[in-house]
Amino acid sequence: MGYISPVKTRLHSLSLTDFRSYDQLDVDLAGRSLYLFGPNGAGKTNFLEAISMLNPGRGLRGAAVADLGRRLPDEARGRPWGISLRLKSEDDDTRLGTGSDPRNPDKRVVRLDQQTVPAGRTLDHLRLVWLTPAQDRIFLEARAERLRFFDRLVFAANPAHATTVSAYEKALRERLKLLTHGPADPDWLDALERRLSEAGAHMITARHEALTALQSEIDSHQSAFPKADLSLANEITPDTLTDGFRQARPRDAAAGRSLFGPHRMDLRVFHREKDRQASDCSTGEQKALVLNMILAQGARLSRVKTVPNPVLLLDEVAAHLDPIRRVALFDETDRLGLQTLFTGTDETLFDGLKGRATGVRVENGKWVEFRN
């Protein structure tokens, strides 16, 4: 994979107010990688989720804004919550913030250096890639989960992809509502399908570009992780979209769901050394294949001078890796200059990180003990 240029941006400090299990937390990360350990329910994942909210979308759990506020047993709704993050590089010092809107607890506001901005502006300063236990079965779950995981990798390199996918999904819902509930006005459907075709063409192109770049990175990467061969199934060419949507109208109306379009694509992953589909591999091998893709994306983005250095959020990842691959993961994130935040229940999982990351024992939403 070669030499990676020094890190451009680091997370330096973070403050949480009434977020999930935290009433108030002010921490100095000092730009270092971090591992959190402690019992289940201690608040480790909540901390990663808070950071994930500083990119557009609904974070690593996909939660609604109103569900993120701290709530005591006798409280019907969560409290107003807020997150503030300081990013530093050699020539920049930036503050990002987000929280529930005081005027509407179901919406959130985003701030850049204390100025309210669209959520997408945070991507100029922070790119996140995460892996959670919910993604452990992406090779066994429904196609949509794999595609959603892959789209997040595309999004990390190409932020416009998220906006395109959102516009496509909105038009797809409107089209299906017309087909199933009426009135199925042909002119209205034509207009929606033009929007779908335009957004769909961009989605297809972005996915292919990302897949080609990821595969190239994986092929050049020497590590303890298995090489993944990537491909896209259920492919559609952009020039067939308009006719395809029109021809699919009767079938979609009868089925009550949209059966044609780039949302039906699928990510296929193959374990090269074992000549086996990822779905037929062990749980540990599947985790290693996913990490192979995430590290490849992190390495790729680290070399691009015009984008922020990616930050990895790896929730309960180490427990599913054998000792050799666990150390390999720590070594690679360190060598690539990727600031990485890990969580796990057992401190011994992170023995290989001692001296090069900060360790914190978490209990009941409190950071109670530190390791250097």
Report helix, strand or coil for 224.
coil
- Coil/strand/helix, residue 213: helix
Q: 127-148: b or e for each residue (b if 16 or more CB lie within 10 Å)?
A: bbbbbbeebbebbeeeeebbbb
Which structure tokens are listed for 76?
A: 């019907």
* Cα 122 to Cα 311: distance, rounded to the nearest angstrom: 13
Nearest Cα residue to 140 out of 280, 289, 292, 285: 280
Give Cβ neighbours of residue 260 (< 8 Å, ≥ 6 apart). Answer: 236, 244, 245, 247, 248, 251, 252
CA dist., res. 103 & res. 365, Å (int): 27
What domains can you pick out in the chain, each with its CATH number?
1-137+306-372 (3.40.50.300), 140-280 (1.20.1050.90)
Beta-bridged to residue 109, according to DSSP, are 99
Q: Identify whether the C-beta of residue 18 lies closer than 8 Å to the C-beta of residue 80.
A: yes
> Distance between CA 327 and CA 342 in Å, rounded?
13
Would you state the pLDDT for residue 140? 87
Ordered per-residue pLDDT tens for the chain, 372 residues: 333 444 578 999 999 999 999 999 999 999 999 999 999 999 999 999 999 999 988 999 999 999 999 988 888 788 999 999 999 987 788 999 999 998 998 999 999 999 999 988 898 889 999 999 888 788 988 888 899 999 999 988 898 998 999 999 999 999 999 999 988 899 999 999 999 999 999 999 999 999 999 999 999 877 778 899 999 999 899 999 999 999 999 999 999 999 999 999 999 999 999 999 999 998 888 988 999 999 999 888 888 877 788 899 999 998 888 888 899 999 999 988 899 999 999 999 999 998 899 999 999 989 998 887
**Secondary structure class of 4 (helix, strand, coil):** coil
Which residue intervals of the chain are DSSP H helices?
Answer: 44-52, 143-157, 160-181, 186-219, 241-247, 249-255, 283-302, 323-335
Q: Which pLDDT score is estimated for 3?
A: 37
